[in-house]
């Protein structure tokens, strides 16, 4: 069965600092990988996705993620964090089982200090 681990429950960074959120997945074949962001009281917004090809993918809002098969990781990065990036971030994997369900990690809550 596919699974996703986000080892950091909370992360605090200063505005302008760089950010890396960790995501490890477990899946037998090449996974479909996603990062979503959830602001307070809001739904989930798709930041970026990896299906195949270039292992460094660019997303919206200046985010990028790198797929590393050898490490089963798909870490999210941003070179300079803005206060508006404070939110909860979810990594998700798709590709196994019937249908197209996504399996989500437990999320990382990002706090940005001004």
Q: What distance in Å separates the CA atoms of residue 88 and residue 75, rounded to the nearest whole number? A: 15
Q: What distance in Å separates the CA atoms of residue 60 and residue 62, rounded to the nearest whole number? A: 6
Residues near 13 by Cβ (< 8 Å), separated by ≥ 6? 19, 81, 110, 111, 112, 113
Tell me the closest approach of the beta carbon of residue 73 to other proteins, in angstroms. 19
Under the binding rule (CB under 8 A), the answer on residue 77 touching other proteins is no
Single residue of 12, 30, 42, 58 touching other proteins by CB under 8 A: 42
Tell me the closest approach of the beta carbon of residue 75 to other proteins, in angstroms. 19
| Alpha-carbon dihedral angle through residues 57, 58, 60, 63, given to the nearest 10 degrees | 90
Under the binding rule (CB under 8 A), the answer on residue 45 touching other proteins is yes
Tell me the closest approach of the beta carbon of residue 70 to other proteins, in angstroms. 23
Under the binding rule (CB under 8 A), the answer on residue 7 touching other proteins is no
Q: Which residues bind other proteins (CB under 8 A)?
A: 32, 34, 36, 42-46, 49, 51, 90, 94-95, 97-107
């Amino acid at each position: 069965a596919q699974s996703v681990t986000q080892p950091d429950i909370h992360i605090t960074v200063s505005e302008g600092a760089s950010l890396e959120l960790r995501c490890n997945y477990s899946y037998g074949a090449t996974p479909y990988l996603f990062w979503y962001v959830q602001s307070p009281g809001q739904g989930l917004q798709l930041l970026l996705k990896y299906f195949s090809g270039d292992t460094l993918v660019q997303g919206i809002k200046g985010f990028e993620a790198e797929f590393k098969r050898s490490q089963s990781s798909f870490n999210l990065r941003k070179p300079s964090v803005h206060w508006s990036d404070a939110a909860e971030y979810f990594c998700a994997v798709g590709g196994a089982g019937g249908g197209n369900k996504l399996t989500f990690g437990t999320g990382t809550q990002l706090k940005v200090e001004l």
